[in-house]
Amino acid sequence: MPTHHPGTAVAHNKRDIGPNLPWAVTTHLLSIDHQQLLRATRHPFLARAAKGSLPKPLITQWLANDRQYLQGYLSTISNLLNLVRSTHQSALVPGVEPDIETRLIAWLESGLKNGNRELRFFQEVAEIYKIDLPLSPLLDTVKSEGLHRYETLFASVASQQPHAFIPWLEGAILLWATEKVYYEAWSWARKQDEQSSPRNFNDDQDGGAMRREFIPNWSNRDFLMFVEQLERIVNEGVSQAVDRDEGRWEEIKGRTEMIWKALLDAEEAFWPDVPADEGSLVEPRTYDVREDVDRLSRLKGAANI
C-alpha cells in the first residue's frame, strides 16, 4: 500500500481532515467548506457518466468546455514557469535533493507536456466516438457558467503582481486545486462505475466514451502521483518559507483561501446540470460575472497588501 502525502485523502467526514498538520496549506484548504468540495466532486453528471447514461450532445457540451478550460490551465502553467525561471537559478548538486523551485519547474514542464497530450486525447476520443466538437475558441454563448468562472480565476491570478514572499504561491495553489478536485471527481465516478455498471459498454449512450476513456484517464495511479507531487512541493515550500512564523502562516492562508473558494465555485458550476436519475436534462443555471469580479478584486487587494 503506497503512502500518500498528508492532505491527499478526502474523507467522508470533515472532522477527518482538520488542519492538524502545521503549515500544510493543502490540508488547511481541504478543511474549508468540505460539503461544497463533495458537491463539486460527486455531481450527478459524474454519476450518470459512471452509468453510461449521458447522451452525446451533453458530452459534447462538457468536452468542448473542458477543452477550452485546458487552454487557460496551460496558460497558467506557462506564466508560472516563466515567473519561477526568471526569479530562481537552479543549482543541482549530486546526491542532494533539488530545491523547491527546481522541483516546481520540473513539475510545470511535465504539466505542459501532459496538457498538450490531453488536447490530442480529446480530439482522438471525439473522432473515435463521433463526438462533434465545435470550433475553438468557444463563443461566450456556448461557454458554461463554470468555464466563465475558471477563466475569470485564471485571468485574476495571471494579472497579480508577484508577491515578494513565495512569489509562486498563488499560481501553484491554483494548479494544485484544479488537479486535486478533478482527480477526486473522476475517482468517485470510477467507484460508482465499478460498483454498479456492467463490464461491457454495449448499452452506453456514448458508446463507452466516458467509462472506457475519460473516467480511467483521470482516476488512475499515475494521475494521483502527479497531483501528489505538486502537493508535496507546495507544502514543503510553504513550510520552509514560513519557518514556524505564525504571522507568515496567516498571510499564506489569506492568499490561498480566496483562490480555493473561487475554485470550488467554478468546479461545482462546471458540470452540466443533469438530474441524478434518468430524467430529462435541466436548463443551465444563470451566471452573473459580477460575482466573480467582485470576489477576485478582493483577492487582488489581499495579494497587494
- CATH number of the domain at 127, please: 1.20.910.10
Question: Is 204 within a domain?
Answer: yes
Q: Which pLDDT band holds residue 4 (cuts at 50, 70, 90)? A: very low
Half-sphere exposure of residue 30: CA atoms within 13 angstroms, side-chain side: 29
Q: What is the mean pLDDT of residues 49-67?
A: 96
Helices (H), 131-211: 145-159, 169-196
Question: Is 248 within a domain?
Answer: yes
Question: Is 115 within a domain?
Answer: yes
Whether 282 has a pLDDT exceeding 70, the answer reads no
Q: Which pLDDT band holds residue 19 (cuts at 50, 70, 90)? A: very low
pLDDT digits (tens, 9 = 90+) for 139-148: 999 999 999 9
Question: Is 188 within a domain?
Answer: yes
Question: Is 17 within a domain?
Answer: no
Question: Is 1 within a domain?
Answer: no
Question: Is 256 within a domain?
Answer: yes
Find the range with the poorest average confidence among 147-161, 209-223, 291-305. Answer: 291-305
CA distance to 20, 102, 263, per residue, from 303 (Å): 25, 24, 17
User: Mapping DSSP to helix (H, G, I), strand (E, B) and coil, where does residue 206 land?
Assistant: coil
- What range defines the domain where residue 152 resides? 55-303
Find the range with the poorest average confidence among 7-16, 93-102, 198-207. Answer: 7-16
pLDDT of residue 65: 98
Q: What is the mean pLDDT of residues 80-91?
A: 88
pLDDT digits (tens, 9 = 90+) for 151-197: 999 999 999 999 999 999 999 999 999 999 999 999 999 999 998 76
Distance in angstroms between the alpha carbons of the first and the last residue of the chain: 44
pTM given for the model: 0.85
**Mean pLDDT score of the chain, rounded to an integer?**
87
- Can you read off the three cell numbers belonging to residue 157? 491570478
pLDDT of residue 5: 47
Over the range 238-267, which residues count as b (16 or more CB within 10 Å of their CB) and which as e?
bbebbeeeeebbebbbebbbbbbbbbbbbb
Count up the domains in the chain and report the number: 1
Question: Is 161 within a domain?
Answer: yes
